[in-house]
Chain A
């Protein structure tokens, strides 16, 4: 990096918001995917849109890559620094600029914490629906970049279904306004294209969110089963009945053990699979739907059924589920998190294959998944101190993803491609498809500075080191989806 040019970047920020010491760069060298490490040249902490515009112009002019970073909770290495690049930290741009209860919208800065939006909307009987498990820490900007999901995607959709408008600084510094404040749109859906573009199209400095009325009633039922197959069959029965639950989640044996160990989750003894089904809506709807759901679940021969009678009991059920990822850290020194999708009807087959592949690899796999939409999270457990276990775990991970795609699924349901899965993109998209996406990318970012090296297949990252649980997970601050 030319020292003279770097000085130009430094001039944009006061000293305390331009970090380039060794010690300052270390906390930013990984994100939620701790296997990858890359020290940035510098971190700039933005507080205004003008600083972002000037920084991106500088990056464009000098072809220096940048990655925008919220809380760094990405599980795909999406906010991993780019080699020879800078990090643009957005946490200080964390204000809710406007909350319009009448229109049911909130206009927020990218560093706004996901759960803070719902807290702010709650007095108006509204909430922000997308609920990734890291929502106490992750930011809206990151959610937009990666089209974050959550347990309640089944009924309410992902982040992309809740973004109405964006104010974006493109990678060359031009500002564009996409969408607006309406639920409807005209022309090509540019907001839809931007959401989930993994930071490759610049930085959104203002995001208009759609708020929903807080459901008047909720009904949460937990059922324990002897086998995962039985839990899967129960899910099929629910779907076939025509019900549309807000969420349907399954945890298998190792995930249950971990949750019970870590957060003392109160799940039925002897259960090798737990199914959580949640209905929400008006009281009339709930009364009607639970009269269908409860007997249906009872007829699937669970070993036990629990129905949450209070908000506290409901919170405990979800605490166990949402802690599952972090909790497996208590039963295994290391693990790889996956995020594959299969058509829902292929869930049973996929789980059977995972069991077979895991046995062959001599490794345990805990399964947590969004049963309603076929989004699997196999957690491959291994011990990094045992000489060949990491390579075996990685090989197993690759086999599982390949298997899921062969069943008609996807390499990623909600974590995004980032750094971790870019080599798998050719398993889903042809060279023509990838070239078409790259043409769009280059048209928007001619020097490919915006999160360079992510999403598209490329050379391997500089450093691949397994670090175990993210420090925030160890501290119990966040949990993974």
Chain B
């Protein structure tokens, strides 16, 4: 059982601001937590936590304008349900909704679901944000309209920020119409090289909602449409282009829900590593040498490695450093954040010095690995 430590649970933005203003005066760090659906920081005696779980509610849903605003502690499944009731969705396919993931945690972790492939990730759909910074200022950025070029794009900066730059209190998303019907195909393959070649062919044939590589190298794809007739036509096109019959996955909704809410064994971390299809084979070989399991999402643009020991984590960091890649711990009982090269650190440190000058939200932790330069 993880000790969750002492935890403050404000119910208003003013309270968050008061707490953080006081924390800054005392130089007393705070660790931010949503519902602990993904990252659970094990408490030490010195840790003080602050959670957004009591700060909930959908503030505004302009269905005709395709925007929705919610407080950070709002369970993401509530946002999904509200949107679904009017035929809308969050196009980046939120993860861990079934584990009470919150709006703030979703944005701070930046973990997209498989169907981000078609229209984009969280960062492409966050249009406005309110956060409390490391000295207690309440700051608004972006706006509530889908097109806005005023001011610095701090809403995007907060995506993947891991609670290190500010405490997100409210987010406005752009949303899209939801598809009505889906179909999922499975493509078993013999080896990873074949898998990568298959994906190259698939992306040239059609714009899939999702293309995933499973742990056994099989490829799973998803298509979407308004009617089953439309799906039939698309299926026919794909089969003809590949010169192969298609294996349809039954109960595909459950398949994708389970993938987006995959539980890990305790003491395992899920590390996200952005990659491209040219470098994927080298990365895969290195992870395979560590005897760790992994899958790939977003058409091979994101590796999700399941790492089961501190030693393996350090080794992965080393590999990433050598291959000029950066990873982020996105699920697990850890206060680890980034791994590997992290070449953006000089830029991020400047930003952090502005947003959190007294390190109230903790340092931007980078594990460079056993054989760091």
A-B contact list, 10 entries, CB within 8 Å:
A176-B343, A213-B204, A341-B148, A374-B147, A413-B148, A415-B149, A428-B150, A432-B137, A433-B139, A444-B351
13 other A-B residue contacts (CB within 8 Å) besides A161-B124, A188-B351: A103-B277, A157-B120, A160-B156, A180-B276, A185-B110, A185-B123, A187-B160, A187-B326, A187-B338, A196-B149, A412-B148, A436-B355, A442-B354
Q: Is A373 an interface residue (CB 8 A)?
A: yes
Q: Smallest CB-CB separation from A178: which chain B residue?
A: B344
Q: Is A345 an interface residue (CB 8 A)?
A: yes
Q: Smallest CB-CB separation from A375: which chain B residue?
A: B147
Q: Is A395 an interface residue (CB 8 A)?
A: no
Task: Mark contacts of A211-243 with chain B using CB atoms, 8 A cut-off: 1 yes-contact digit, 0 otherwise.
Answer: 001000000000000000000000010011011
Q: Is A408 an interface residue (CB 8 A)?
A: yes
Q: Which residues of A contact B327 (CB under 8 A)?
A: 186
The answer to whether A192 touches B278 (Cβ under 8 A) is no
Q: Smallest CB-CB separation from B301: which chain A residue?
A: A183
Q: Which residues of A contact B214 (CB under 8 A)?
A: none
Interface residues of B in 118-158 (CB under 8 A from A): 120-121, 123-124, 133, 137-141, 143-154, 156-158
- A185, A187, A345, A433: residue with the most chain B Cβ atoms closer than 10 Å: A187
The answer to whether A186 touches B328 (Cβ under 8 A) is yes
The answer to whether B124 touches A157 (Cβ under 8 A) is yes
Nearest Cβ on chain B to A160's Cβ, whole angstroms? 7
Q: Which residues of A contact B154 (CB under 8 A)?
A: 193, 436-437, 440
> Which residues on B are within 8 Å of A, measured CB to CB?
62, 64-67, 87, 110, 112, 120-121, 123-124, 133, 137-141, 143-154, 156-162, 164-165, 176-177, 200, 203-204, 206-207, 225-227, 230, 233-234, 237, 272-279, 298-299, 301-302, 325-328, 337-338, 342-344, 346-348, 350-351, 353-355, 364
The answer to whether A193 touches B153 (Cβ under 8 A) is yes
The answer to whether A182 touches B146 (Cβ under 8 A) is no
Task: Mark contacts of A320-345 with chain B using CB atoms, 8 A cut-off: 1 yes-contact digit, 0 otherwise.
Answer: 00000000000000000000011111
Q: Which residues of A contact B123 (CB under 8 A)?
A: 185, 189, 192
- A168, A178, A443, A455: residue with the most chain B Cβ atoms closer than 10 Å: A443
| Size bracket of the A interface | 35 or more
The answer to whether B149 touches A187 (Cβ under 8 A) is no
Q: Which of A103, A421, A433 contacts B141 (CB 8 A)?
A: A433
Q: Complex Cα distance A105/B278, Å?
A: 11
The answer to whether A186 touches B207 (Cβ under 8 A) is no
Q: What 7 pairs across the A-B complex have the smallest Cβ distances?
A: A192-B156, A186-B328, A182-B274, A443-B354, A439-B354, A184-B274, A242-B177
The answer to whether A176 touches B148 (Cβ under 8 A) is no
Q: Is A61 an interface residue (CB 8 A)?
A: no
The answer to whether B140 touches A430 (Cβ under 8 A) is yes
Q: Smallest CB-CB separation from B232: which chain A residue?
A: A284
Q: Is A262 an interface residue (CB 8 A)?
A: no
The answer to whether A244 touches B344 (Cβ under 8 A) is no
> Which residues on A are within 8 Å of B, measured CB to CB?
100, 102-103, 105, 125, 146-147, 149, 153, 157-158, 160-161, 168, 170, 174, 176-190, 192-193, 195-197, 213, 236, 239-240, 242-244, 281-282, 284-285, 287-288, 341-345, 370, 373-375, 408-417, 421, 425, 428-430, 432-433, 435-437, 439-444, 455
Q: Which residues of B contact A153 (CB under 8 A)?
A: 147
- B151, B156, B162: residue with the most chain A Cβ atoms closer than 10 Å: B151
The answer to whether A244 touches B150 (Cβ under 8 A) is no
Nearest Cβ on chain B to A275's Cβ, whole angstroms? 17
Q: Complex Cα distance A474/B272, Å?
A: 52
The answer to whether B145 touches A343 (Cβ under 8 A) is yes
Q: Complex Cα distance A439/B160, Å?
A: 21
The answer to whether B152 touches A176 (Cβ under 8 A) is no
The answer to whether B274 touches A180 (Cβ under 8 A) is yes
The answer to whether B87 touches A213 (Cβ under 8 A) is no
The answer to whether B274 touches A176 (Cβ under 8 A) is no
Q: Smallest CB-CB separation from A428: which chain B residue?
A: B150
Q: Which residues of A contact B157 (CB under 8 A)?
A: 188-190, 192-193
Q: Smallest CB-CB separation from A241: which chain B residue?
A: B177
Q: Which residues of A contact B301 (CB under 8 A)?
A: 182-184
Q: Which of A176, A180, A281, A415 contacts B346 (CB 8 A)?
A: A176
Q: Which residues of B contact A185 (CB under 8 A)?
A: 110, 121, 123, 159-160, 274
| A417 in contact with B149 given A176-B346, A192-B123, A288-B227 (CB within 8 Å) | yes
Q: Which of A180, A187, A240 contacts B161 (CB 8 A)?
A: A187
Q: Which residues of B contact A435 (CB under 8 A)?
A: 137
Q: Which residues of A contact B152 (CB under 8 A)?
A: 193, 196-197, 437, 440-441
The answer to whether A432 touches B138 (Cβ under 8 A) is yes
Q: Which residues of B contact A244 (CB under 8 A)?
A: 176-177
The answer to whether B151 touches A428 (Cβ under 8 A) is yes
Q: Which residues of A contact B342 (CB under 8 A)?
A: 187
The answer to whether B150 touches A102 (Cβ under 8 A) is no
Q: Which residues of B contact A158 (CB under 8 A)?
A: 147, 149
The answer to whether A410 touches B237 (Cβ under 8 A) is no
Q: Which residues of B contact A343 (CB under 8 A)?
A: 62, 65, 67, 144-145
Q: Smallest CB-CB separation from A200: which chain B residue?
A: B152
Q: Which residues of A contact B153 (CB under 8 A)?
A: 147, 160, 192-193, 195-197
The answer to whether B147 touches A370 (Cβ under 8 A) is yes
